[in-house]
A and B are shown apart, each in its own frame.
Chain A
Amino acid sequence: MAVRRIPVNGGLPAFKARIERYPDQMARLMAQQMVRYARFLVPRDTGYLASTIGAERVSKGRWVCFAAAEYALPVEMGHRVYNQYGGPYGWVAPQPFMRPAFETVVGQAQVIWRQAGDAA
C-alpha cells in the first residue's frame, strides 16, 4: 500500500494551531447562521425584537445566541394579552423563532463543519 505524505505548511506547530482554532470557528459560524435565521423568522411589528437578536463569544468554542428584548420569551412561548380597547383578555399562541433557528443550524452542522475547516 502506498503512503501519501502531505506537507503541512509551518510544520506541526502551525497544524496544531489550526486544529485548535477549529472548534471556535465552528461555533462562530453556527451562531452567525442561527442569528440570521432567527431574524428571518421573528415576527415583525416595529422591528425592535429582530434588532435585539445577536450572538456573542463567551469562551473558546462557546457562543451564545440571544434575543435581548424584554418580550422575546413571551413571543417565543406564548403569553397572556391585555386588550387595551376594552375587549376580553386572552392568550396569544407562541411564535417561536429561536428554537426553529437552533434546530435548523444543528441540522446543518455538517455543512458548517466543512466551512469552518476551510476558514480555519
Chain B
Amino acid sequence: MTATVTTGAEVEAGYRWLEGALQGDASLIALVRPGGDDGTATNADRVPDNVGLPAIMFAYQGGTGTRVVDRELYLSGVWQVKVLTEEDGLDQAGPIAKRLHQVLEGRNAEVIPGDFGTLHQCTRESVLSLQETDETGRVFRHLGGLYRLLVGSN
C-alpha cells in the first residue's frame, strides 16, 4: 500500500506552531501553572515523569499531504491537544480545556516563528475526553480535542 508521504518538515512546523500558540497565551499558562511557569506547562508527545499535573500535552496523530504536480502544498494533520489532571471529575480540567480551545480554534494564516512555515488553519475536529485509573486507584482525566492543522513548511 502506498501512503502519501510528507517531508516531515510540516509535522515539525505543526509542533512548533502549537508550542508557540499555547505558550504564548498568558491566561492559559496561568491556569496550568498559577505560581509561574517553570517550562513544564506544555509538553510535546508525553509529559515527563517528574512533571506535576495539571499539564498540557500535544501529539501528532496522523495526516496526509496535499500535492500539486511536483510539490507539496500543505499537510492536513491531526494533533491531539489536551490537559492532563489528576481528578475524578472536570473541576480542574474544564476551565483549562475551555481556554485551550479559545486559544486554538479558528486560528489561520500565521507565519510560524523561526521560519518553519505557515499555519493555514486550525480547527477542532472532535472533543477528546478520557478518564483512566491506574493500578493504585489514582484517577486521571484527559480533556481537550483533536485539532486539524493545515500547515505548510518552508
Same assembly: yes
Q: Which residues of A contact B (CB under 8 A)?
A: 33, 36-37, 40, 73-74, 76-82, 84, 88-94, 96, 99-104, 106-108
Using Cβ atoms and an 8 Å threshold, which residues of chain A touch B128? 77
20 contacts between A and B (CB under 8 A): A37-B1, A74-B132, A76-B61, A77-B80, A77-B128, A78-B80, A84-B135, A88-B50, A89-B49, A89-B134, A91-B84, A92-B46, A99-B61, A99-B62, A102-B62, A103-B64, A103-B77, A103-B78, A104-B64, A107-B4
Q: How large is the interface on B (under 10, 10 to 19, 20 to 34, 35 or more residues)?
A: 20 to 34
Secondary structure at the B interface, as helix, strand, loop or mixed, is strand
How many residue pairs bridge A and B at CB < 8 Å? 79
Q: A77-B142, A99-B61 are in contact. Are A33 and B47 (CB under 8 A)?
A: no
Contact residues of B with A, CB < 8 Å?
1-4, 45-50, 57, 59-65, 76-78, 80, 84, 128, 130, 132, 134-136, 138, 140, 142
Cβ–Cβ contact A91 & B49, under 8 A: yes
Complex Cα–Cα for A76 and B1 (A):
21
C-alpha spacing A97/B130, complex, angstroms = 18
4 nearest A-B pairs in the assembled complex, by CB-CB distance: A100-B62, A90-B49, A107-B64, A99-B62
